[in-house]
C-alpha cells in the first residue's frame, strides 16, 4: 500500500472521530488502516455510525476464544416446535415441490392456522395453539390480487399476517429487492418484528445477485445469518424451493438448484402428486429433531383450501418411482413414433420440425425429450448440426431402422 493511500485512510478515520490512540492500538493488533477505513465507511453507508455497538466492534474486536466454554457450562435445550414434529422453532425448514402440486396452498394453510390459533393438516388430532403473528414474502403471486383472498379462504386472521404491500412504496422495487438473505435490510426486518414464522417463496427471489446456488460454501454463507437470527429471536423460517425432475432422484438430490439446502435445513418436506386426481402428498424427508413423520395425503378444493385425505406409508421416492413407471409406456410409444416418423421422412428431419410434429401427434414435451434422449443413448438416432446453403441447423438423423412395417 502506498504512503499516500495510508495517509488518506488515516485522515478519513480522524475526520470520522476515531481517536488516534485507538487507531494505533488496532494497528498493533494487526488491523490495517485500509481495513479500519472500510469498516467505518460501511457503517456510515448503513447509517450505523457512530452507533455505540458498531464503534465498540471496530475499536475493540471481540476475542474469539471468549465464544468457547466447557461443555458443562453449556445448558442443554430440548427442541421446541412451531408445528409439532414437523417444523422446529427457530430453525430453517424447506418446503419443496414441483409446480402445480399445491405448495402455495400448503404454506397458506400453515400461515392461516398459526395466525388464527387453529389446527393445520400437520398438527396432531385435537391440537390447540395460541394465535401468533406470521410474515410471508412471496414473489410468485400478487399479494393484493391473489394472496389476500387465498389466505382469507384458508381461515387466516388478517390482523396477524404481515406481508409486503408493494403499493405503499414510492420506490417499492428498490426496497423489496434489497430483502436478500444475509442483507442488513432483512436482518433489521426480522429483528424488528414479533413474527414467529417467516415464509420465503421462492428461495431464488431472496438469493443475492451473482451468487451461485450450486456452490456449497456460497449457500452456507448466504443462509448462516438466518440460522443465527433464528437462534437469537426464536423466529422460524419456511423456505419454499422447487424440485428437480431428474429420474430416480430422491433425498437431497430432489431439491432443485442446490442440494446443500438439504444439509442446511433441520426439516425437509416434499410436496407431490400421488398419481390420483387431485390427491397430493406431504412427505417428511428429513427431520433432525424427531423421527420422520407419516406421509399426509390432501386435496385442494375450489377455494384453494386444504382437505385432509389421511395418511400413507409411501414416501416421496415411492411416488416418484410410480410416476416414472407410469410414464414408461408413453415414452416407448413416443420412441416408436419418432423412429417411424424419421423413416417416413427419409431418415433425416429438422429437430424443431420433429418436435413440433410430436406435439401434434399428442406427445408432451417432457415425453418427447425422454424418448429422444433414450434413442440417442442407444445410438438409434443422432442429433447433428448441418449446413444446407444457409445457417447451420440441428437435424435428427435415424441410424437404425425399426425393421417393422407400419400401417
Over the stretch 244-262, which tens digit does the pLDDT of each residue have? 766 556 677 788 666 678 8
pTM: 0.68
Alpha carbon distance 52, 40 (integer Å): 13
- Cα dist from 270 to 58, 99, 373, whole Å: 44, 12, 27
Q: For residue 227, give the C-alpha cell.
A: 440460522
The answer to whether the CB of 214 falls within 8 A of the CB of 258 is yes
**pLDDT tens per residue across span 392-401:** 789 999 997 7
Residue 1 has pLDDT above 70, yes or no: no
pLDDT at 22: 82
The answer to whether the CB of 137 falls within 8 A of the CB of 164 is yes
Beta-strand runs (E) in 114-266? 134-138, 161-162, 197-201, 236-242
Q: Identify the sign of the CA torsion 223, 225, 228, 233.
A: negative
CATH of 81-314, one of 3.30.1330.60, 3.40.30.10, 3.90.980.10, 3.40.50.300: 3.40.50.300
Q: Which residue has the higher pLDDT, 66 or 109?
A: 109
Q: What percent of the chain has pLDDT above 90?
A: 44
**pLDDT tens per residue across span 318-352:** 888 887 766 666 788 899 999 999 998 889 999 99
Q: Which long-range contacts (CB under 8 A, 24 or more apart) does 178-181 make?
A: 179/137, 179/206, 180/206, 180/207, 180/208, 180/209, 181/206, 181/207, 181/208, 181/222, 181/223, 181/225, 181/226
Q: For residue 69, give the C-alpha cell.
A: 466454554
Confidence of residue 211 (pLDDT cuts 50, 70, 90): confident
**What fold, for 328-398?**
Arc Repressor Mutant, subunit A (1.10.10)
pLDDT at 191: 93
Peptide bond into 225 cis (omega under 30): no
Q: Which residue has the higher pLDDT, 261 or 53?
A: 261
For 6-63, the three-class secondary structure string (H helix, E strand, C coil) is HHHHHHHHHHCCCCHHHHHHHHHCCCCHHHHHHHHHHHHHCCCCCCHHHHHHHHCCCC
Alpha carbon distance 65, 45 (integer Å): 30
The answer to whether the CB of 285 falls within 8 A of the CB of 315 is yes
Q: Which residues pair with 270 in a beta bridge?
A: 96, 283
Q: Which residue ranges make up each domain of the chain?
A: 3-67, 81-314, 328-398
Neighbours of 313 (CB within 10 A): 7
Q: For residue 150, give the C-alpha cell.
A: 387465498
Tell me the mean pLDDT in the region 262-288. Answer: 93
Point out the least confidently predicted range of 63-77, 90-104, 114-128, 288-302. Answer: 63-77
Beta-strand runs (E) in 292-335? 295-300, 306-312
Q: Which residues contact 386 (CB under 8 A, 6 or more apart)?
A: 392, 393, 394, 395
Amino acid at each position: 500500500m502506498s504512503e499516500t493511500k495510508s495517509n488518506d485512510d488515516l485522515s478519513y478515520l480522524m475526520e470520522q472521530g476515531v481517536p488516534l490512540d485507538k487507531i494505533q492500538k488496532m494497528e498493533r493488533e494487526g488491523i490495517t488502516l485500509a481495513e479500519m477505513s472500510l469498516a467505518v465507511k460501511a457503517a456510515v453507508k448503513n447509517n450505523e455510525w457512530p452507533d455505540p455497538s458498531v464503534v465498540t466492534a471496530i475499536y475493540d474486536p471481540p476475542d474469539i476464544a471468549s465464544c468457547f466454554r466447557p461443555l458443562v457450562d453449556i445448558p442443554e435445550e430440548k427442541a421446541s416446535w412451531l408445528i409439532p414434529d414437523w417444523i422446529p422453532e427457530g430453525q430453517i425448514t424447506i418446503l419443496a415441490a414441483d409446480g402445480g402440486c399445491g405448495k402455495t396452498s400448503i404454506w397458506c394453510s400453515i400461515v392461516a392456522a398459526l395466525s388464527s390459533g387453529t389446527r393445520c393438516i400437520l398438527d396432531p388430532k385435537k391440537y390447540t395453539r395460541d394465535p401468533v403473528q406470521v410474515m410471508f414474502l412471496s414473489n410468485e403471486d400478487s399479494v393484493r390480487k391473489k394472496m389476500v383472498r387465498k389466505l382469507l379462504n384458508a381461515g387466516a386472521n388478517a390482523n396477524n399476517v404481515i406481508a409486503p404491500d408493494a403499493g405503499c412504496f414510492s420506490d417499492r422495487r428498490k426496497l423489496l429487492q434489497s430483502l436478500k438473505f444475509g442483507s442488513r435490510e432483512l436482518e433489521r426486518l426480522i429483528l424488528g418484528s414479533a413474527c414467529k414464522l417467516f415464509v420465503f417463496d421462492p428461495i431464488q427471489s431472496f438469493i443475492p445477485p451473482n451468487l451461485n446456488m450450486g456452490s456449497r460454501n456460497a449457500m452456507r454463507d448466504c443462509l448462516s445469518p438466518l440460522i443465527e437470527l433464528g437462534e437469537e429471536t426464536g423466529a422460524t423460517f419456511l423456505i419454499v424451493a422447487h424440485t428437480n425432475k431428474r429420474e430416480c432422484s430422491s433425498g437431497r438430490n430432489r431439491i432443485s438448484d442446490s442440494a446443500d439446502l438439504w444439509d442446511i435445513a433441520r426439516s425437509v418436506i416434499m410436496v407431490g402428486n400421488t398419481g390420483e386426481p387431485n390427491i397430493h402428498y406431504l412427505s417428511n424427508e428429513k427431520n433432525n429433531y424427531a423421527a420422520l413423520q407419516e406421509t399426509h395425503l390432501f386435496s385442494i378444493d375450489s377455494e384453494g383450501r386444504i382437505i385432509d385425505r389421511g395418511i400413507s406409508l409411501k414416501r416421496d421416492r415411492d411416488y416418484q418411482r410410480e410416476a416414472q413407471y407410469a410414464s414408461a409406456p408413453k415414452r416407448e410409444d413416443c420412441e416408436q413414433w419418432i423412429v417411424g416418423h424419421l423413416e417416413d421422412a427419409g431418415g433425416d428431419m429438422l429437430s424443431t420440425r420433429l418436435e413440433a410434429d410430436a406435439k401434434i401427434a399428442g406427445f408432451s414435451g417432457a415425453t418427447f425429450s425422454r424418448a429422444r434422449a433414450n434413442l440417442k443413448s442407444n445410438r438409434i438416432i443422432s442429433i447433428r448440426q448441418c449446413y444446407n446453403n444457409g445457417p447451420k441447423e440441428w437435424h435428427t438423423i435415424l441410424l437404425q431402422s425399426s425393421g417393422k412395417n407400419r400401417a
